Amino acid sequence: MSLPTSSSTALPGSPFVAYQNGQLMIEQVALRDLAGQHGTPLFVYSQAAILAALAAYQRGLAGRKSLICYAMKANSSLAILKLLADAGCGFDIVSGGELERALAVGADPARIIFSGVGKTRQEMRQALQTGVGCFNVESLPELDVLDAVARECGKVAPISIRVNPNVDAKTHPYISTGLKGNKFGIAHEDALAAYQRAAALPGLKVVGIDCHIGSQITEEAPYLEAMERILDLVTSIEKTGIPIHHIDFGGGLGINYNGDTPPAADALWARLLARLDARGFGDRTVMIEPGRSLVGNAGICITEVQYLKPGEQKNFCIVDAAMNDLPRPALYEAFHQIVPLQPRDAAATTYDVVGPVCESGDWLGRDRPLGVQPGDLLAVLSAGAYSMSMSSNYNTRPRAAEVMVNGAEARVIRARERVQDLWQLESA
């Protein structure tokens, strides 16, 4: 991509990240200044970008009985959770640890839904005592265990069943969740019997139905297909005398990593709700679980060029961020734009941008044209989701610091780990 050296030009993904007079800015803050103050690698988030993404969903659902539950696995940093809770979000959790994080920022337990295929008995007890709003149950054995745990606790667990509609989300196979070969949910053709079983268990109360078909979805058609199948199922379930109070359509809406063109959240939901009305279900509470689409384009990872290593087949730009900081490329061969914080007036060379971790899979970008020198700073864009939340200490590397920007103000929301922090729970 051609990079401007003057005026103001937004980059793909977020209007809150732009070059201004040759400097890459996030809102009103120069990223170079943040790197100088806090070191690299460094994650930086735009508060305005997060709230703007949420506002699109809120517009799409305006006037409806609805609950937006942020899928916090995308990024569970406390400051982001607090920002979204204050803006009216509930939370979609997948572990007892995520439950504790949500409660730590003052989340209302009744606005939390507990998903995931492997809930332990202890996690179930924890969630029941806390009073979460709903368990999304993903298998018949889980129904039986949750019923037993609820009765032991003297509680009745509110549940929905996650239905696997066998819809192709047309995304990477590792983040597809709605096909028969995926581990998630109960098969569409088995769901009616599962609901009848759940309704007969004294420790459970059926309150809804859930469906989630995958992540980084950039087309409207899979959502519409999944909705039709779920509404057909709701009709069948209610004919047996089991009322469905809420319909949870999951999340999965994609973001712009590399010229991707997912539908805007407000436009998508206008069309989905029109179909809901046409089918006679407009009075139901609608629940959704967006994650990546709220935070993905709001985040940047800043990294410093360490060495330029020419080779016969490949040229390598070796930086100080690595697969432990930003694992998506290594896991999914995912694409992130990589751009300089201050573009040079120099000819570009094609590099693989790689980190210092001792793995051939440690790469952030392949075949990128960059005019850089050691000491230059690069921004890995669209790094707000599934980066810090999936980071690790592989190679005994401390995790990066995180900064939240609000207009012209920036504050540290996670301090950089120290090496000695990494063995505090160990003994020699």
Instruction: State the pTM of this model.
Output: 0.93
**Residue 176 DSSP one-character state:** B
Give the pair of three-digit tokens for residue 118. 């492997």
Angle at 41 between CA 37 and CA 42, to 5 degrees: 55
Residue 8's pLDDT band, with cuts at 50, 70 and 90, is low
Both 180 and 273 in one domain: the answer is yes
The answer to whether 122 touches 171, Cβ cutoff 8 Å, is no
How many whole angstroms separate alpha carbon 175 and alpha carbon 182? Answer: 9
How many whole angstroms separate alpha carbon 381 and alpha carbon 13? Answer: 8
Both 137 and 227 in one domain: the answer is yes
Both 260 and 351 in one domain: the answer is no
Query: Which residues in 41-77 are b (16+ Cβ under 10 Å) and which e?
Result: bbbbbbbbbbbbbbebbbebbeebebbbbbbbbbbbb
Both 250 and 387 in one domain: the answer is no
Both 246 and 369 in one domain: the answer is no
| pLDDT for res 386 | 96
| pLDDT for res 205 | 98
pLDDT per residue as tens digits for the range 172-182: 444 444 445 55
Q: By C-alpha distance, which of 216, 131, 105 is closest to 170?
A: 216
- Sheet with 14-20, edge to edge strand ranges: 8-11, 14-20, 23-26, 29-30
How many whole angstroms separate alpha carbon 300 and alpha carbon 44? Answer: 5
Residue 12 has pLDDT above 80, yes or no: no
Both 373 and 264 in one domain: the answer is no
How many whole angstroms separate alpha carbon 270 and alpha carbon 377? Answer: 41
Q: By C-alpha distance, which of 391, 188, 385, 221 is closest to 290?
A: 385
Give the pair of three-digit tokens for residue 31. 């990223």
Q: Which domain holds residue 207?
A: 115-290
Both 215 and 257 in one domain: the answer is yes
| pLDDT for res 172 | 42
CATH code (residue 36): 2.40.37.10
Domain presence at residue 165: yes
H-type alpha helices, 240-385: 265-278, 292-295, 328-332
How many whole angstroms separate alpha carbon 404 and alpha carbon 409? Answer: 8
* Average pLDDT over all residues of the chain: 92
| pLDDT for res 217 | 86
| pLDDT for res 346 | 87
- Whether 358 sits among the annotated catalytic residues: the reply is yes
How many whole angstroms separate alpha carbon 137 and alpha carbon 22? Answer: 51
Domain presence at residue 383: yes
**Stretch 273-290: mean pLDDT:** 95
Angle at 383 between CA 380 and CA 386, to 5 degrees: 140
Residue 164's pLDDT band, with cuts at 50, 70 and 90, is confident
How many whole angstroms separate alpha carbon 49 and alpha carbon 199? Answer: 42
**Residue 315 DSSP one-character state:** -
- Name residue 205's beta-bridge partners: 158
Out of 290, 319, 337, pick the residue that ends a domain: 290
Angle at 290 between CA 216 and CA 159, to 5 degrees: 120
Looking at 75-79, 159-163, 251-255, 327-331, which range is the least confident one?
A: 251-255
Angle at 35 between CA 33 and CA 37, to 5 degrees: 70
Domain presence at residue 209: yes
The three-class DSSP label of residue 168 is coil
Looking at 20-34, 61-75, 138-152, 169-183, which range is the least confident one?
A: 169-183
Q: Which of 89, 211, 301, 358 is catalytic?
A: 358
Count of the separate structural domains present in the chain? 2
The answer to whether 238 touches 199, Cβ cutoff 8 Å, is no
pLDDT per residue as tens digits for the range 338-381: 999 999 988 999 999 999 999 999 999 999 999 999 999 999 99
The answer to whether 56 touches 297, Cβ cutoff 8 Å, is no
